[in-house]
Chain A
Amino acid sequence: MPELRPAKLLRVFLAGGKLHEAIIAKCREMQIAGATVLAAQEGFGGGPDIHRARMLSSDRPLVIHIVDSEDKIARLVPEVERMLGTGMLAVSDVRLLRVQK
């Protein structure tokens, strides 16, 4: 059984736009273990509108999952906060096994 070490998963919820590209670039720069951008169907939060994925619209909500050690995530969070206008960040405890072949 391979050893899974404790780590943190950071979820960043965005209302749309191009900010995810800058966040991913920042993750690469900080050599974060992994980051995935997921396109959501719809979502709301922090405002009166429900954002939906429509054709010809950039209003599609996005979720970024970022995984790394506790201290790396702790250093990344303020960076992401600085880049974000509004949004939601949530950090959970996970156990991580990085597979590299």
Chain B
Amino acid sequence: MLARGPARKVAIYLNEDAKHHLTSLHDAVMTFLMRKGVAGATAVRGMSGFGQHRVLHSRDMEVTAEHLPIVIEFVESAERVEELLPSLYDMVTDGLIEVQDTTIVKAARKDKPQAERPRMRQSGPGKLLQVYFGEADTWHGEPLYDAIVKRLRMEDIGGATVEKGILGYGAKGHTHKESFLHFSKDMPVLISVIDTPEKIDRAIEQIEAMMGDGLIVTSDVETIRLVHAPLSEATSAGTAAS
């Protein structure tokens, strides 16, 4: 699976009827990429287009639609792209190949049923980060606690838990409470985050920028993390072998 961070995106523009030996060129390119273990590739048929032949091919004009443009796109690491380009250069006899720098934000796959995967145990010293604020606090229109959890998830922080208090007071100077007659929408909220000291420092930076009034507390903890072993090692070995 691709890692987060910088990568290259390759776009190949072809004619649908371009041939490579006996098959169509786009099929040949897709098969080639698949065989080479490229993480993923998509071929899209355009609805109209023109190229170096200076003829506008469009869906309306061509009943058999055999000259329509095809775009094949894939994302891979810079090294893999360098490795694949000479072959692609050779295959694409009529068309255009383009490479651009890109950034992978998320490369996810649905995990298989977890029972099949062994459990992994990681233990050692860690940091516990606790953030106190109000339930009614928002960040760009969404609940702050929701926004923080989503951000921490994206930043690859190990885990976070949101708890709602039943009574409290703090930075805002007013008491947060709920009674039978008075239904408060601003109860105290506590987010607990556990990870390595470096990751916690990064989390604090992110959270501080998002929150208004509140309290951020850290303490030392000894952690035992029990997780399912990641699939990625087994699967990437599988694709490399196929």
Contacts and interface: CB of A to CB of B under 8 A. Distances in A.
B97 to A, nearest CB: 34
A23 to B, nearest CB: 13
A46 B225 contact: yes
Given A84-B226, A86-B119, A90-B128, A42 B162 contact: yes
Interface residues of B, number: 34
B80 interface: no
A48 B223 CA distance: 20
A63 B221 contact: no
Contact of B227 (A50, A77, A86, A90): A86
Contacts of B111: 47-48
Given A50-B153, A81-B224, A90 B194 contact: yes
Interface in B219-241: 219-228
Given A41-B162, A48-B110, A81-B121, 7 more contacts: A42-B161, A44-B152, A44-B159, A44-B160, A46-B228, A81-B224, A86-B119
Interface string A37-75: 011111111111010000000000101000000000000
Contacts of A43: 149, 159-162
A41 B189 CA distance: 9
B40 interface: no
B150 interface: yes
A40 B226 contact: no
A10 to B, nearest CB: 9
Contact of B159 (A77, A85, A88, A92): A88
A47 B160 CA distance: 12
Contacts of A46: 158-159, 225-228
B153 A85 contact: no
A13 B192 CA distance: 10
Interface in A87-101: 87-93
Contact of A88 (B152, B164, B189, B225): B225
Contact of B226 (A38, A50, A61, A85): A85
Contact of B108 (A45, A48, A88): A48
B160 to A, nearest CB: 6
A50 to B, nearest CB: 6
Nearest to A87: B226
B149 to A, nearest CB: 6
B82 interface: no
Nearest to B222: A91
A77 to B, nearest CB: 7
